[in-house]
Amino acid sequence: MVDTPKPEELIKNIDHTPPETPWEETVPDISPGNFCYPTKKKNLEYLSMPTTTVDEWSPADEEWPLPDNWQQIVHDGFKDLLGKYRSLKIFMDTCVRCGACADKCHFFIGTGDPKNMPVLRAELLRSVYRNDFTRVGKILKKIAGARPLTKEVIKEWFTYFYQCTECRRCSVYCPYGIDTAEVTMMARELLSLLGLNINWILEPAANCFRTGNHLGIQPHAFKEMIEFFCDDIEEITGKKIEPSFNRKGAEILFITPSGDAFADPGTYAMMGYIMLFEHIGLDYTLSTYASEGGNFGLFTSSEMMKRLNAKMYAEAKRLGVKWILGGECGHMWRVIHQYMDTMNGPVDFGEVPVNPITGTRFDNALSTRMVHITEFTADLIRHNKLKLDPGRNDMYKVTYHDSCNPARAMGLFDEPRHVLKAVCNQFYEMPENTIREQTFCCGSGSGLNTEEIMELRLRGGLPRANAVRYVHEKFGVNMLSCVCAIDRAALPPLMEYWVPEVDVCGVHELVGNALVMDGEIERTTNLRFEPLTDETEVEADV
């Protein structure tokens, strides 16, 4: 009879311990499930961007389709970026490896992979910078932390710079203010010079460039989608709303992520916006051309970001509006608040935004002409311009996820909370070190919200989900509100895995539920067509 090995003998053959090689020698695991699918060549061609040498390839391939002079391309590109951005040079030079950022990244916290420590992720780029651009690096090489650019380094960049959501939580803790998200942006820009980008970013960018939004919804279809929502609103409230499209001379242009037009639960937030504007009699229009607030150029290159951003302003100018009201979007606001002015600004249309209902002048939007919807709604609530019945949201115990970009890139903390506290009776905060400027990313930002890396997203989103679980267990929270379309797409699967009892919504869905519109019928359902009365009560009534 064959001796059956004992369990302890069996496990001796399984090596649990990870390799203790130095980081420079630890090769990343580039097997399916660990990388995002690379972009199709046609997207690159449509955007006039450099392409790879073949149409179809996989990061799991041993040989990547790089042009012969790839090293020179990256070196020249790096040199160009260093000349263009003084900030990049400072970020490359000043890090003292104090480690303050090391344990702040949600990917590091969830994966335990040292290369997800922001300091080390940036070091992947810095080491090449030292080698190519500093005297000490050129002379002392490895001793000075320099390493030559090899194909393995390119593979490592592709792995880890697409494992950073550019959420900037680490930057909050950096004593030098190094913006690690910008380091990632620069690295992605360098990779893009070789055609190395991912499909989940490039396809929306190319679609946006052609049809005006990420999914490629054409103008007539966009209009029909909105009209479809208006039918739903009529069924729920009895109010017939007919928003205008591409109307010249409107006072305000409203732009929101296209996710709000086609993906639940963003669609309910869209219904909320439309109801709010109708109720206050806002003179606004929607554009079927600037039908996207999101800007995937931010995840590609500064040039692409500039081109996509310009479209919104060109449309505002063409329509002759005074200012732009922006919906619940994440990275759109980083582009507007931090980059737009130096890319396409100062704007050459309109006026400083003034709320036509309250008279509030939004001086903070002086140079961008763009106001965030929660600033606008909070202002209406503050001036008692809305009749609200927060009891209609009593089925929800709500918490609020500060979406990374509005929180850390524009300091939008209190306005959404002011709105939430007015439209629902039960609001609970997550722990202090997981909200406001310390908020944890959904784990899928910056174009990583793609299904092939679901496990990576779930472990990256763990710190956020963990805080949600805490308020769910402590207060019975069952609704996670947010102001970002990527969040609304990324958080539902995250919740389904970690805290399945919690659902996700936009802030303006709750506004739409609570808003008592003039002349509306008695509501029996919320915007999701769920009965307002508790089911058990209905049964009891019967």
Partner 1 sequence: MNIFQQKREKWLEKWLEALFSTYPSESALFFRNTKDAFSNPVGATLKTGLTMLYDALAAPNFDPDAAKQALEPVVKLRSVQEFTPAKALGFIYELKTIMHSGAESPPAEIREVFSRIDMIMLMAFDLYMENKKIIYSLRASQARDNVRQLLIKKDLICELPEIDPELAK
Under the rule (CB under 8 A), what is the footprint of partner 1? 7-8, 10-11, 14, 16-18, 20, 29, 34, 102-103, 108-114, 117, 215, 217, 221, 224-225, 228, 262-264, 431, 433-434, 451-452, 454-455, 458-459, 462-463, 466-467, 470, 493, 496-498
* Nearer Cβ to partner 1 (37/46): 37
Any idea which residue has 């580039």 for tokens?
30
Please say which residue, 85 or 173, places its beta carbon nearer to partner 1.
Answer: 173
R_g over Cα of the chain: 25
* Complex with partner 1: residue 168 or 392, whichever CB lies closer: 168
The nearest distance, CB 467 to partner 1, in angstroms, is: 6
* Secondary structure (3-state) at 532: coil
| Amino acid at position 344, single letter | N
> What is the DSSP code string of 216-284?
---HHHHHHHHHHHHHHHHHHHS------BS-TT-SEEEE--THHHHSTTHHHHHHHHHHHHHHHT--E
* CA atoms of 318 and 534, how far apart (whole Å): 49
Q: How many CB atoms lie within 10 A of CB 414?
A: 12
In the complex, the smallest distance separating the C-beta of residue 303 from partner 1, rounded to whole angstroms, is 28
In the complex, least distance from residue 414 CB atom to partner 1, rounded to whole angstroms: 21
Closer Cβ to partner 1, 65 or 460, answer by number: 460
Compare residues 279 and 457 and give the one whose CB is closer to partner 1: 457
CB-based contact 105:90 (threshold 8 Å): no
Residue closer to partner 1 (CB basis): 67 or 114 = 114
How crowded is residue 314: how many other Cβ atoms within 10 Å of its Cβ? 14
Cβ contact 147:131 at 8 Å: yes
One-letter amino acid for residue 220 of the chain: H
**At closest approach, how far in Å is the CB of 542 from partner 1?**
15
Closest approach, Cβ 217 to partner 1, in A, equals 8
Minimum distance, C-beta of residue 506 to partner 1, in the bound complex (Å): 16
314 vs 332: CA distance, rounded Å:
16
Q: Whole-angstrom Cα distance, residue 56 to residue 481?
A: 39
CB of 137 or CB of 243, closer to partner 1: 243
**C-beta of 201: minimal distance to partner 1 in Å?**
15
Which two tokens mark 389? 């019945």
Q: Rounded CA gap, 391 and 527, in Å?
A: 14
A 10 A CB-CB count for 357 gives 15
Among residues 102 and 352, whose Cβ is nearest to partner 1?
Answer: 102
In whole angstroms, what is the distance from residue 18 CA to residue 407 CA?
Answer: 36
**Closest by CA position to 410, among listed 454, 451, 371, 455:** 371
Measured CA distances, 297 to 87, 335, 351 (Å) = 19, 9, 27
> CA of 199: how far to CAs of 66, 210, 300, 492, in Å?
17, 16, 11, 22
AA letter at 73: I
Provide, rounded to whole angstroms, the least separation between the CB of residue 53 and partner 1.
28
Q: Specify the DSSP class assigned to residue 150.
A: -
Q: How far is the CB of 157 from partner 1 (least distance, A)?
A: 19
